[in-house]
Amino acid sequence: MGLIAVPSPTQTSTPFQTTANPQLEIRGGRRLSGELEVSGAKNSALVLMAACLLTRDTIRLRNVPPLTDIAAMGEMLGSLGGRVVRHGDALELNGDAINNSTAPYELVNSLRASFFCIGPLLARMGMAKVPLPGGCQIGTRPVVEHVKGLKALGAQVTIEHGVVTAVVPGRGHRLTGGRIHMDCPSVGATETLMMAAALADGETVIDNAALEPEVVDLAGLLIAMGAKVRGAGTPTITIVGVDRLHGADYAVIPDRIEAGTFLLAAAITRSHLRVAPVIPEHLGAVLTKLEEAGCTLEHDGIGLTLKADHLNAVDLRTQPFPGFPTDLQAPFMSLLATAKGTSVITENIFENRLQHVAELQRMGAAIRMQGNTAFVEGVSRLSGAPVQGTDLRASAAMVLAGLAAEGITTVRGLEFLDRGYANLEGKLNAAGACIERVNAPGSSASIAA
Ligand code: UD1
């Protein structure tokens, strides 16, 4: 048991401090076998944690992965007066003492998803001050839809000096249900607005809502807390606000992106491997593309077993769910860099999410770029090289490429990888990979005179 904690993002290193710079050293070319276990979904767990702000009772979340992003969200809730305690894979969250409606910039800046706290904070406290998260490595990432929706629920919202201030006018400081049409089906905005509407006065209808499984998972928790939510998983979600929500005990869904990454690890090493637990409906487009490329998949009710031998090129375009997920575009590109023929991959969701191309090219991949499209001509062997993960999923793509490459690949940028994969190298090593976490040469200490 322990309070969740991460190093403060405000901590800076001095020239006298020891600065570890870990990297993964991967000896490629080994087949994997056995089974890889999938943890709870990071993106679900983050938003379910924010939902604890909606009640004074305790929420128990099971199947929460031990990730730095989860710890950062714990820190955010702590800064607002909440209490988060971990017991094994479960978190106990209590928002009874929430006394602060202002989120610190450092935390929102280090974890974009913590901006989603604006919805439940506003619903519970009648006001919220949350800094704009800004862009990140993969794109500008606007929050226009979140703000527009909160206004439709009666909040007065101003944005000044990089901070969003939202206030519910009137004596009761209670949001009012309303009709919201989203111009794009943003996952985060759908979740923010569902949480805000859960305690609003009257009915809210969200049109063009995101269909992602994480939205359905949030609806599951809200319903377990006593909320009235219909239609999650369809484009129209209806929420009838209630006066209060209560505690709940709830298990997070398996992480579809981690599961997809593991299936790709099996495919890129041309292995025979089981990945579990997997909900196949959460990965429909990905499984179809794996089969189109020549993989065999078998579902046994809990897990999926993948067999791969000779693989062919396939084309894919990222889209909102149930389309091909942007979060698996980079990992899938690593696979296609080793498949026979030319694959055409188009990134439609984030404008800067093809930075891994240059790193894959360093490993011998034959890729040509045109705008947001990559033409990937499969090569018979990638070759190990030092590479840099530029964001979470790009780092995973580098690890996959390293598993298949001849020789040693060193992957830097583990601060990204550790945000979204729990013990990735430990899990892969147990299935036969050879990956070591080491400190980059010369980085163990930097002592200035
Ligand atoms: C979530 C996921 C992230 C995933 C993404 C898309 C979490 C914590 N993160 O991010 O891993 O890659 O969904 O599946 O759940 N957009 C606007 N205006 C807005 C909001 C979004 O134009 O107000 C656009 C974005 O620029 C992007 C698209 O909508 O092109 C999808 O973004 P969104 O669904 O909001 O992503 P997140 O919820 O931030």
Return the higher-pLDDT residue of 122 and 15. 122
Ligand 1: centre distance to CA 210 (Å): 10
Q: Which of 52, 117, 136, 434 is catalytic?
A: 136
Question: Percent of the chain, pLDDT > 70?
Answer: 93
Of 16-25, 41-50, 194-203, 373-382, the range with the lowest mean pLDDT is 16-25
Side chain identity, residue 52 = C
CA-wise closest residue to 325 among 363, 280, 282: 282
Return the higher-pLDDT residue of 20 and 306. 306
| 22-38+254-448 shares its CATH topology with 42-248 | yes
Closest C-alpha to ligand 1, atom 11: 327
Q: What burial letters (b/e) apply to 270-297, b meaning 16+ CB within 10 Å?
A: bbbbbbbbbbeebbebbbebbeebbbeb
Does 136 qualify as catalytic in the annotation?
yes
Superfamily for the 22-38+254-448 domain? Enolpyruvate transferase domain (3.65.10.10)
- Closest atom of ligand 1 to CA, residue 349: 30
Answer whether 43 contacts ligand 1 (Cβ < 6 A): yes
- Closest atom of ligand 1 to CA, residue 326: 12
Per-domain residue ranges for the chain? 22-38+254-448, 42-248
CA-wise closest residue to 186 among 148, 241, 130, 156: 148
As a whole number of angstroms, the distance between CA 259 and CA 43 comes to 13
Answer whether 191 contacts ligand 1 (Cβ < 6 A): no
* Owner of token pair 């106990």: 92
At 29, the pLDDT band (50, 70, 90 cuts) reads very high
C-alpha radius of gyration, the chain, whole number: 22
**For residue 77, is pLDDT > 60?**
yes
**For residue 41, is pLDDT > 50?**
yes
The predicted structure's pLDDT at residue 93: 98
**For residue 4, is pLDDT > 70?**
no
Question: Percent of the chain, pLDDT > 90?
Answer: 88
351-391 tens-digit pLDDT: 889 999 999 999 999 999 999 999 999 999 999 999 999 99
Closest C-alpha to ligand 1, atom 31: 186
**Mutational pocket test of ligand 1: of 111, 186, 282, 352, the residue with most ligand atoms within 8 Å of the beta carbon:** 186
- Closest atom of ligand 1 to CA, residue 144: 23
128-171 tens-digit pLDDT: 999 998 667 888 888 999 999 999 999 999 999 999 999 999 88
- pLDDT mean over 277-295: 98
- Closest atom of ligand 1 to CA, residue 139: 26
Closest C-alpha to ligand 1, atom 12: 327
Ligand 1: centre distance to CA 215 (Å): 12
**For residue 11, is pLDDT > 80?**
no
As a whole number of angstroms, the distance between CA 192 and CA 10 comes to 26
**For residue 428, is pLDDT > 80?**
yes
**For residue 17, is pLDDT > 60?**
no
Ligand 1: centre distance to CA 186 (Å): 5
The predicted structure's pLDDT at residue 137: 82
Answer whether 189 contacts ligand 1 (Cβ < 6 A): yes
Closest C-alpha to ligand 1, atom 7: 43
Answer whether 148 contacts ligand 1 (Cβ < 6 A): no
Answer whether 183 contacts ligand 1 (Cβ < 6 A): no
Ligand 1: centre distance to CA 351 (Å): 12
CA-wise closest residue to 185 among 50, 320, 346, 26: 320
Q: Give me the chain's average pLDDT, please.
A: 93
Q: Which CATH architecture has domain 42-248?
A: Alpha-beta prism (3.65)
Ligand 1: centre distance to CA 94 (Å): 28
- pLDDT mean over 87-95: 97
As a whole number of angstroms, the distance between CA 354 and CA 390 comes to 10
Ligand 1: centre distance to CA 355 (Å): 18
**For residue 322, is pLDDT > 50?**
yes
User: Could you give the angle at the alpha carbon of 402 between the alpha carbons of 273 and 377, nearest 5°?
Assistant: 95
